Structure 1
Amino acid sequence: MYATGLAGGKPCVRFLAPSPPRPPRPRVLRRADAEFSKKEMLKFAIPALGISIASPFMTNIDNAFVGRLSGTKALAAMSPGSVLSDYILYLFVFLPRATTGLVARALPWGRPKAAQRLGTALSTALVLGTVLTAVYVFATPLLLNLLDVAPELRPGAGTYVRVRGLVAWAALMQSVALSGLLAAKDSLTPLKVVLFAALLNLLGDFFLCAWPFHWGIFGAALATSISTLMGFRMMWRALRRNRLMPGHLSMPKREELQPLLEYAKPLSVVILFRFMSLTFMAKCAGMMGTAVTAAYQVLANVIVLFGLFGEPLSQTAQTMLPGLLDRPSREARELMKNLAVVALGIAGSVGLLSAVALKASAQLFTTDPQVQGILRGTTMVPVTVASLILSQVCDGAMLAAREFPLVIKITVVATSFQVLLLMAATHFNWSLEAVFLSLSIRYWLFLAIVCWRCLTGCGALGRALQSRQREPALER
């Protein structure tokens, strides 16, 4: 491009740099399109639900095989094993969370730009995952010592952690690839991959734990590791089919990491405190005896399994809200209203379902009558499940609005208060109910503050939801 003009009274030609392409401007929705967007939300959220619950569902299958075939001590060893293999991996969940936002915002510029953003996240996941695998292989005894795990549980827990840790890099990269596909609003492909991996894990548990090998906790960990590798391979092929495959993976440069760090820095603080919460809960339960520790392992995974019914709603908010929060938006209010109504219905029904499932299936996890009694008698689990589902929806909306400082402040305050409650539970010898009550209170604090800001119009999300500026009417 060029422009003509006068310089010192003489004609001249000045060359202008081409303007960068702009993403398409959001159009005014027709009434039919508004209805279609609601259908799209459900079309996205329902398969995402299967993706969210597949992993914790298989963890509960692992618990069932180990608890029934290897006894209460092996089931109790799964608790610190899960803390190290699953919860430490959860510390890096900022990567898939950030990937969802980055890819969703890059897609209006085209698939190559989205693939570039995804490639940076995958490269970072490979580096961090490799370091994490090395930590699992060489530092597991030190980590078990820091958790103050009982000596009789350390051999089983150490075996579980090391075998699972060998594929930590693949698990982290798979979660990033999955988030990239979800950001592109393709929830069906990753659902197929996750279900295949879950089926493979189930078959592996049977052959390696029950018949013919009888390898117990080692067999459960090996089955999970094999299914993780197969799932990663299939997810990689899915990226190629969706034209999201990055050109190559390499050590990311500082300037390439800048968009990722915008999400990663605040999210890593939030996740660190949430990890501390889960770790203190497991440690508090571990000081109540072997039977309580075994029961806690089952109950914690039941909460994760049923609580993740809210994760698709969180993903929906993170995928669909960013484009609606830059201006006063009737569509944003409609989307949040739909999410709130669906979340309330799911929270109540799934909380009730978790209570029924525990009372009806306690014998599936263990033959120990004492552990079965604890599983059936812990009444805070359904309350915690419902609270988690509602909290996830608010969490997804806040991440979509990029209100990271507020999320950090709420998380720090709520987690600190929970830790104080757990310390009191240990000091005064309170029951396992107090452990899960402390988690529910953390969710209630988060919910109360976010809802108050939305109702009063504070922050980016509150302004978008409460603004009454004149908006273009929906075309008939």
Structure 2
Amino acid sequence: MHLGYGIAGAAWATMVSQVVAAYMMIDALNKKGYNAFVISIPSFNELLSVLAIAGPVVVTLMSKVVFYSLLIYFATSMGTHTVAAHQVMLQIFAMCGVLGEPLSQTAQSFMPELIYGVNRSLPKARMLLKSLVTIGAALGLLLGIIATSVPCFFPNIFTPDIKVIHELHKVLLPCFLALAITPSTVSLEGTLLAGRDLRFISLSMSGCVAFGVLVLPLLSARGFGLAGCWFALVGFQWARFFLALQRLLSPNGILYSKDLTRFEAKKVRAS
């Protein structure tokens, strides 16, 4: 920023950081005995095996990107002050929301052994999930309070513009509601990923995005402004939570069903 390169400099810095991060990960793999620099062409069966796992995950990630892009699109159409306030709150939301990701990583690390492992124990898996959701609820409340208190009491940290501050204050409640449920949601989705219920994750996320595509134009057309966009985000987050919770508590879900063969990834022989 101080060198005067502007947005192009930010893009170059991002690119360099990605390259450095990729090299460090490859180097770490090499130290563990893998030859990460070897390039080989996968067989058709191997590609199918990868796509069976990666496809639903890509759909999930793209669905999130599409929804957040829609939020920015509608906020941009509301004027300069509105989009400025939206960008501030969205960055705060993203910064706080990512703090819940360790719960998802914990579920993906420990759940597979409890669901599919030699020492399989669904009661222990359910107990772990209960702990993760409880921690997520407490963390969500804490993050929601922090994320809304700063722009509420110290808005001049972000901008001295009174109109932007006024727009910031309009979305404090929906920001809190959306953040409060985020850590619990990612812990549930991490459990679904660990249980390889990938098809449900991709379908549910696609449904949530479809909900956003329908609701956002209606809220915008009826003059709800930036607050309407953020309440759509609240609906998106809570819909993800309830769908994942319902799936995991279902008698046919991965934490209760004794027949897990339908969730297992198909074994494909390498040609």
Shorter-chain TM-score: which interval?
0.7 to 0.9
Aligned counterparts of 1:238 and 1:393: Cα–Cα separation in 2: 27
Aligned counterparts of 2:160 and 2:202: Cα–Cα separation in 1: 43
Tell me, what secondary structure is at the counterpart of 1:386? helix
2:176 is matched with: 382
Q: Is the 8 A contact 2:220 2:229 kept in 1?
A: no
| Off by >6 Å, runs of 4+ in structure 1 | none
Aligned counterparts of 2:158 and 2:201: Cα–Cα separation in 1: 36
2:82 is matched with: 292
2:73 is matched with: 283
2:264 is matched with: none
2:5 is matched with: 215
Amino acid at match of 1:397: T
Post-superposition Cα deviations, 1:35-87, rounded to whole Å, max 9, x if no partner, equal xxxxxxxxxxxxxxxxxxxxxxxxxxxxxxxxxxxxxxxxxxxxxxxxxxxxx
Matched, 1:416 2:210: yes
2:263 is matched with: none
After TM superposition, list the pairs within 5 Å mapping 1:382-401 onto structure 2: 382-401=176-195
User: Which of residues 114, 126, 149 in structure 2 aligns to 1:356?
Assistant: 149
Q: CA deviation at 1:323?
A: 1.9
Q: Is the 8 A contact 1:397 1:461 kept in 2?
A: no
- Decide whether aligned partners of structure 1 residues 331 and 347 sit closer, same or farther in structure 2, where only a CA change above 3 A counts: same
Amino acid at match of 2:75: A
- Decide whether aligned partners of structure 1 residues 244 and 344 sit closer, same or farther in structure 2, where only a CA change above 3 A counts: farther
Q: CA deviation at 1:361?
A: 4.7
Aligned counterparts of 1:454 and 1:228: Cα–Cα separation in 2: 35
5+ unaligned residues in a row in structure 1: which ranges? 1-208, 465-476
Q: Name the Cα RMSD after superposition.
A: 2.3
Number of paired residues? 254
Tell me, what secondary structure is at the counterpart of 1:461? coil
1:268 is matched with: 58
- Decide whether aligned partners of structure 1 residues 312 and 243 sit closer, same or farther in structure 2, where only a CA change above 3 A counts: farther
1:312 is matched with: 102
Q: CA deviation at 1:429?
A: 1.9
Aligned counterparts of 2:36 and 2:16: Cα–Cα separation in 1: 25
Greater CA radius of gyration, 1 or 2? 1
Aligned counterparts of 2:159 and 2:13: Cα–Cα separation in 1: 20
User: Which of residues 213, 218, 230 in structure 1 aligns to 2:20?
Assistant: 230
Q: Percent identity?
A: 27
Q: Is the 8 A contact 1:292 1:374 kept in 2?
A: yes
Amino acid at match of 1:422: L
Matched, 1:333 2:123: no
Aligned counterparts of 1:391 and 1:294: Cα–Cα separation in 2: 28
Q: Is the 8 A contact 1:328 1:463 kept in 2?
A: no
Tell me, what secondary structure is at the counterpart of 2:72? helix
Aligned counterparts of 2:55 and 2:182: Cα–Cα separation in 1: 23
Give TM-score scaled by structure 2 length: 0.83
Amino acid at match of 2:192: M
Post-superposition Cα deviations, 1:377-432, rounded to whole Å, max 9, x if no partner, equal 42211211122222111111111111123223322322222222101122112121
After TM superposition, list the pairs within 5 Å mapping 1:155-304 onto structure 2: 209-210=1-2, 213-246=3-36, 248-304=38-94
Give TM-score scaled by structure 1 length: 0.49
- Decide whether aligned partners of structure 1 residues 365 and 241 sit closer, same or farther in structure 2, where only a CA change above 3 A counts: farther
Tell me, what secondary structure is at the counterpart of 1:460? coil
Q: CA deviation at 1:289?
A: 0.7
Q: Which has the higher contact order (CA 8 A, sep 6+)?
A: 2
Tell me, what secondary structure is at the counterpart of 2:255? helix
Post-superposition Cα deviations, 1:320-361, rounded to whole Å, max 9, x if no partner, equal 111211344332123212212211111111111111232355
